[in-house]
């Protein structure tokens, strides 16, 4: 009699997914028995998987809802593994195994543990599909596993942040709790890598964790996805913060600085170009320094928006051409929008007392289109609206609006 492992290993997932129209998600258990719940997850997740985990999807790997949601995207996993290499690595929170897949190219051997036997079976099948041979997946509890004597070049933790009342913005709200085991981890390795929530506060991290050598705030297509924290045993020097922007089919863009470095920027709420820094720059607290390094001005002391009369090639974020800069007044803006036939726009508010949804409701705006409206507070505390359009480069390399 075939076990579920054998049934899944030999299951033709490609044909199953190609015929999704004939499957009723509520009848899968009746049709496929114990495989029904697993196959239901595939129907729900595969469209998302082609974007987040394209290689895994191409090989028709299996996913579970929770492990898929918490897994690193392939782009983030590849960036992460580019930071390290060595002989032996320990992953205390194996999950779906995306990070193990990428680290397997940088380390000779990986021990990956997870206390969910069902998920581990799926991962083992997936690793056979994608021909990963140097990862050993074990059913184990992190707290128990690290009691044994061993040594590793790197220990990696992507703690479980789901279901936390605190939304995992503190270290003790995740499992395993790194604060309880860090001393022991430093007996097993000299380097610990933590993948943390994009919501976690960097100042809090620096005050709470010892030995932080580097922090990498990683955004994908301008949205912050994870905060990587590298701890090094006995490190007592400065911490380098890196804003990392991963854009599909383009080189990674990175800006780095030392925590606590004070940078003065020129303040100006006028300029030909309007810059919206990447989420990673904002989260990392590096907007002022990045603006100064590129000869740009911040709109005000508290604004993350940047202006300038010079075009900065390959800016980490988005670049717009300013059509109009208007001091905020309901009547003035309503007339401006009417005169310019603007009924649809992309609205963003930063350091502004009114939220995006309220703005759209106030002026009867629908989402989308070529017009971008940015609301913020200027250098003299006046409320401002910038009407912008995205820049693009024409065939003769001149900048035009579009």
The string of pLDDT tens digits covering residues 328-369 is: 999 999 999 999 999 999 999 999 999 999 999 999 999 999
The neighbour count for residue 351, using CB atoms within 10 Å, is 16
Residue 329 confidence (pLDDT): 95
Residue 259 confidence (pLDDT): 73
Token code pair at residue 261: 């470095």
Question: Does residue 359 share a domain with residue 332?
Answer: yes
Question: Does residue 254 share a domain with residue 110?
Answer: yes
pLDDT band (50, 70, 90) for residue 26: confident
- The packing angle between helices 330-339 and 356-363, to 10°, is 70
Domain-ending residue, one of 223, 258, 293? 258
- Tell me how far apart the terminal alpha carbons of the chain are, to the nearest angstrom: 63
pLDDT band (50, 70, 90) for residue 3: low
Question: Does residue 78 share a domain with residue 38?
Answer: no
The strand pair at 223-232 and 191-196 is best described as antiparallel
Question: Does residue 374 share a domain with residue 234?
Answer: no
Average pLDDT over residues 191-208: 94
Tell me, yes or no, whether 62 lies in a domain: no
Tell me, yes or no, whether 67 lies in a domain: no
Question: Does residue 208 share a domain with residue 78?
Answer: yes
Question: Does residue 8 share a domain with residue 102?
Answer: no
Tell me, yes or no, whether 294 lies in a domain: yes
Tell me, yes or no, whether 228 lies in a domain: yes
Structural domain total, the chain: 3
Tell me, yes or no, whether 64 lies in a domain: no
Residue 117 confidence (pLDDT): 93
pLDDT band (50, 70, 90) for residue 33: confident
State percent of the chain over pLDDT 70. 93
Question: Does residue 221 share a domain with residue 176?
Answer: yes
Question: Does residue 122 share a domain with residue 190?
Answer: yes
Give the separation between CA 218 and CA 75, rounded to whole angstroms: 10
Residue 173 confidence (pLDDT): 84
Tell me, yes or no, whether 66 lies in a domain: no
Give the separation between CA 161 and CA 165, rounded to whole angstroms: 10
CATH of the domain at 391: 3.30.2130
**Average of per-residue pLDDT values in the chain:** 90
Cis peptide before 176 (omega within 30 of 0): yes
The pLDDT tens digits of the residues spanning 59-92 come to: 999 999 999 999 999 999 999 999 999 999 999 9
Tell me, yes or no, whether 188 lies in a domain: yes
pLDDT at 386 over 60: yes
Among the listed ranges 3-12, 18-27, 61-70, 351-360, which one has the minimum average pLDDT value? 18-27
Predicted TM-score (pTM) of the model is: 0.90
pLDDT band (50, 70, 90) for residue 165: very low
Question: Does residue 212 share a domain with residue 345?
Answer: no
Give the separation between CA 148 and CA 68, rounded to whole angstroms: 30
Question: Does residue 102 share a domain with residue 20?
Answer: no
Cβ–Cβ < 8 Å for 301, 287: no
pLDDT band (50, 70, 90) for residue 261: low
Query: Which residues form the domain of 191?
Result: 73-258
Which is nearest to 276 in space by CA: 319, 221, 218? Answer: 319
In angstroms, the Cα distances linking 270 to 114, 198, 347, 384 are 54, 32, 19, 11
| Higher per-residue pLDDT: 28 or 214 | 214
Tell me, yes or no, whether 385 lies in a domain: yes
In angstroms, the Cα distances linking 69 to 48, 160, 212, 378 are 10, 11, 27, 39
Average pLDDT over residues 232-255: 92
Strand stretches in 270-354, DSSP E: 273-277, 297-298, 306-308, 317-327, 344-349
Question: Does residue 288 share a domain with residue 225?
Answer: no
Residue 400 confidence (pLDDT): 41
Residue 1 confidence (pLDDT): 35
Token code pair at residue 115: 């206390």
Which is nearest to 217 in space by CA: 292, 278, 290? Answer: 278
Average pLDDT over residues 172-200: 95
Question: Does residue 200 share a domain with residue 80?
Answer: yes
CATH of the domain at 197: 3.40.50.150
Which is nearest to 125 in space by CA: 70, 68, 73, 60? Answer: 60
Residue 141 confidence (pLDDT): 96
């Amino acid at each position: 009699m075939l076990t579920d492992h054998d049934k899944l290993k030999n299951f033709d997932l490609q044909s199953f997914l190609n015929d999704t129209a004939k499957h009723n998600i509520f009848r899968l258990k009746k049709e496929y028995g114990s495989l029904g719940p697993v196959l239901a997850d595939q129907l729900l997740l595969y469209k998302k998987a082609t974007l987040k985990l394209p290689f895994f999807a191409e090989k028709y790997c299996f996913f579970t809802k929770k492990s898929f949601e918490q897994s690193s995207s392939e782009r983030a996993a590849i960036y992460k593994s580019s930071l390290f290499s060595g002989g032996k690595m320990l992953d205390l929170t194996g999950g779906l195994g995306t990070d193990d897949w990428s680290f397997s190219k940088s380390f000779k051997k990986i021990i990956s543990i997870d206390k969910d036997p069902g998920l581990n079976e799926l991962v083992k099948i997936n690793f056979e599909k994608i021909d990963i041979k140097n990862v050993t997946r074990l059913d184990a509890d992190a707290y128990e596993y690290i009691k044994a004597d061993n040594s590793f070049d790197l220990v990696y933790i992507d703690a479980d942040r789901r279901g936390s009342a605190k939304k995992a913005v503190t270290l003790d709200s995740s499992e395993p709790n790194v604060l309880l085991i860090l001393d022991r981890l430093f007996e097993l390795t000299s380097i610990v890598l933590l993948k943390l929530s994009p919501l976690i506060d960097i100042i809090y991290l620096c005050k709470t964790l010892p030995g932080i050598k580097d922090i990498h705030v990683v955004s994908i297509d301008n949205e912050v996805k994870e905060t990587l924290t590298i701890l090094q045993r006995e490190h007592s020097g400065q911490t380098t913060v890196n804003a990392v922007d991963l854009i599909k089919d383009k080189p990674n863009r990175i800006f780095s600085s030392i925590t606590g470095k004070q940078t003065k920027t020129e303040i100006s709420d006028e300029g030909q170009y309007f810059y919206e820094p990447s989420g990673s720059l904002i989260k990392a607290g590096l907007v002022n320094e990045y603006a100064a390094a590129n000869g740009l001005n911040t709109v005000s002391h508290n604004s993350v928006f940047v202006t300038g009369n010079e075009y900065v090639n390959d800016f980490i974020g988005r670049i717009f051409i300013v059509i109009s800069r208007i001091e905020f007044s309901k009547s003035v803006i309503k007339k401006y929008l009417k005169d310019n036939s603007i009924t649809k726009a992309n609205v963003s508010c930063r350091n502004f007392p009114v939220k995006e949804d309220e703005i759209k409701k106030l002026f009867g705006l629908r989402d989308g289109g070529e017009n971008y409206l940015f609301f913020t507070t200027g250098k003299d505390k006046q409320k401002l609206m910038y009407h912008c359009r995205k820049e693009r480069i024409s065939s003769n390399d001149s900048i035009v609006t579009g």
